[in-house]
Amino acid sequence: MLSELEGAIMLEVHMRRRRTAFQVRSAFLKSVTSDWSGSAGSVYPAIKRLEESGYIQRTTEIDGRGTQTLTATSEGISALHKWAVDPDLSAVITSDPFRTRSDYLSSLPAKKRKDALDAIRVKLADALIEIDNLLDQDHILKQSANELAGQLLRMRIAWLDGLNR
Amino acid sequence: MLSELEGAIMLEVHMRRRRTAFQVRSAFLKSVTSDWSGSAGSVYPAIKRLEESGYIQRTTEIDGRGTQTLTATSEGISALHKWAVDPDLSAVITSDPFRTRSDYLSSLPAKKRKDALDAIRVKLADALIEIDNLLDQDHILKQSANELAGQLLRMRIAWLDGLNR
DNA sequence: TTACTCATGTAACAAGTTACATGATTTA
DNA sequence: TAAATCATGTAACTTGTTACATGAGTAA
């Protein structure tokens, strides 16, 4: 089964029909939801693995720059589908730094707590604005993901507001 | 700054006043929100690091079993607080397998999509029942975390329902 | 006495991060 | 022509996973 990073790379390559490793990296680097750092040391080896598994095909362009265009093979598309629809993977609750801290934060004495929560709310509001801006633009391929990220932030803010009352 | 795993270990040790490494591991292993696997190979080295940083103190009990009780030092408590209230860490949007798949799932043709979403909804409902059961019990120290995990699952289910309409 | 739980740890392996290294093309 | 961007990759290091190794205490 594909790893989360491998699946995300396959998604980029397949959904956009063709991508270079550099474009995949850039997408991760720019993503507001910092799912993956997009570090060269993770993306290039992962693509190498996907190629060795026969999920990705590489075509070297004749542009002197050595640009390599990646496309998903039919086996790659199958593997991607299997990975994407697996119900267990979609039900997993992964680590959330906000959730990890929530009980500690709510246990703080009122004054200290208010200061901490106010600073956090500011950052959450900033992040939300950034995501809402994205939703106003094109980004058709990431619309649901950005929508869900926005909902997550709103959920956190609502939780903070519930505490301070 | 503490890593997420180190912070979570400090939280366990500090919030419960004293813990053995085994108890910390067990808490992670049993946790419904599978934030950390609780593997021995991650917990024991992390505790070693925390001890070397002077954040945790180790007392070996005289029970023949070699049980080692861990307590947080005052430096450890300071580091924990700094880590817990850092606004940037609370605003981070970490990887979410459900969100990663959301755009792919919504792009599927109606029939295929319905089958996939139905299977996922079943798993989400199961996970939600498990969390709601936990909330009915004691678990005072993890109440907020479990509450937020439940809200996350409800959010996913609502998103699925929105698609199938 | 057998099985389970409590208890600590290491070794091999896999995967990710940061930093480095290199060079072509484009834009100001 | 200098700076930014496009483009690919490796090396050292850190962290985490799986599996192994060991042994004491407890309950059936």
Q: pLDDT digit string (tens) for B131-162?
A: 988 887 767 788 999 999 999 999 999 999 99
* A136-148: pLDDT as tens digits: 776 778 899 999 9
B77, pLDDT greater than 80:
yes
Question: Distance between CA A80 and CA A82 in Å, rounded?
Answer: 6
| Chain A interface, best mutation among B99, B124, B128, by max A CB count within 10 A | B99
pLDDT band of residue B101 (cuts 50, 70, 90) is very high
**Chain A residues inside the 8 Å CB shell of B143:** 103
The set of residues, in sequence order, having a beta carbon less than 8 Å from that of B130 and lying 6+ positions away, is B32
- A28: Cβ under 7 Å from strand C? no
Average pLDDT value for residue range B11-23: 97
B67 CA vs D22 C1’ separation (Å): 14
Contact yes or no for B85 and A119 at CB 8 A = yes
Specify the range with the lowest mean pLDDT, choosing from A63-67, A112-116, A142-146, B146-150: A63-67
pLDDT of residue A164: 77
Sheet holding A19-20, edge to edge: A19-20, A68-72, A56-60
Percentage of chain A with pLDDT > 70?
98
Nucleotide at minimal C1' distance from the A40 CA: D9
Tell me which of B18 and B33 has the higher pLDDT.
Answer: B18
Residue A77 vs residues A36, A60, A73, A97: alpha-carbon distances, Å: 21, 21, 6, 33
Per the prediction, chain A carries an average pLDDT of 94
Question: If you average pLDDT over every residue of chain B, what do you get?
Answer: 93
pLDDT over threshold 80, residue B3: yes
In 3D, which of B130, B124, B157 has the Cα closest to residue A151?
A: B157
Optimal mutation site among B28, B98, B100, interface A, most CBs of chain A within 10 A? B100
Residues 6+ apart with CB under 8 A from A23: A12, A16
Predicted confidence at residue A133, as pLDDT, reads 87
- Alpha helix stretches (DSSP H) within A40-142: 40-52, 74-85, 87-91, 97-107, 110-136
Q: Which window residues (63-102, chain B) lie with Cβ within 7 Å of strand D?
A: 63-65
Tokens of B103: 């755009």
Alpha carbon distances (Å) from A141 to A73, A87, A146, A147: 20, 21, 10, 12
**Residue scoring higher pLDDT (A125 or B140):** A125
